[in-house]
Amino acid sequence: MGSIPLSAPLYALKRQARLRARQHGMPLHEALDDIARENGFAQWSLLMARHASPDALTQLSRQLRPGQLLLLAARPLQGKTRLGFALMARALRAGQHAAFFSLDCTPAQVRTMAAAADTDGALWGTRFRWDCSDDVCAAHVAAQLHDAPPATVVVIDYLQLLDQRRDLPPVMQQVQVLRNLARERQFTVVVIAQIQRRFDEARRGMPGWSDVRLPNPLDASLFDHRCFVHQGQIAIQ
């Protein structure tokens, strides 16, 4: 299915939405949905799903290997969660299993993102599981996936919220648990992360590890690949 032409490039539409939100005192997500409707889409997430960069998806898919832990980081509105769903949809179409754990998304958002990634409702059936409970942490993910087969693609949304509860182990220990889970069970584990607001795209076109928002120490070498998305482009370290 071909893409519906947009009235302007994605970055320009995002800028229009931010300006509209400021001018009208409305939440940014509502302004984005308004822009999406003006371009023929019911929601911004659906617009982003239709106009995903195939190069970014292809490049990231090439890095997906059972037994590996990947970081997927971007500023807000760059489509990192959408890209995670696209990766899971690709895995499901290949006959694999997929799992999504989120401390940020609502059940309605999960359903919307899944439909945007692939409209075949049957695809998101018995081989896909998701969890948006407040219990999500590395140990919870491992427990919930006790019966998942090898080659399952696991997406966790997102890194910084794993570090929010003081009654849980530090983020370094949780990422080590996820790394061990990937290796021992031969899962592909993708951890979505936020980029700091101070990242200056005018000075550097693409964020890097030093731009990842980290309230507490985290060893970059725990990740087999560190993937950064910005303006439809992806850089993989």
pLDDT of residue 136: 96
pTM to 2 decimals?
Answer: 0.80
Of 10-19, 133-142, 157-166, the poorest mean pLDDT is in: 10-19
Residue of 230, 191, 196 lying closest to 213 (CA atoms): 196
The half-sphere exposure of 176 on its side-chain side, counting CA atoms within 13 A, is 8
Q: Using one digit for the tens of pLDDT, what is the confidence trace for 143-169?
A: 999 999 999 999 999 999 999 888 999
What residue spans define the domains of the chain? 10-50, 54-236
- Amino acid letter, residue 30: E
- Architecture of the CATH domain 54-236: 3-Layer(aba) Sandwich (3.40)
> 24 with 17: CB under 8 angstroms?
no
Q: Using one digit for the tens of pLDDT, what is the confidence trace for 172-206?
A: 999 999 999 999 999 999 999 999 988 876 677 78
> 71 with 182: CB under 8 angstroms?
no
Cα–Cα distances in angstroms (integers) from residue 106 to residues 87, 92, 152, 168, 174, in the given order: 19, 22, 22, 22, 23
The total of other beta-carbon atoms located within 10 Å of residue 107's CB is 10
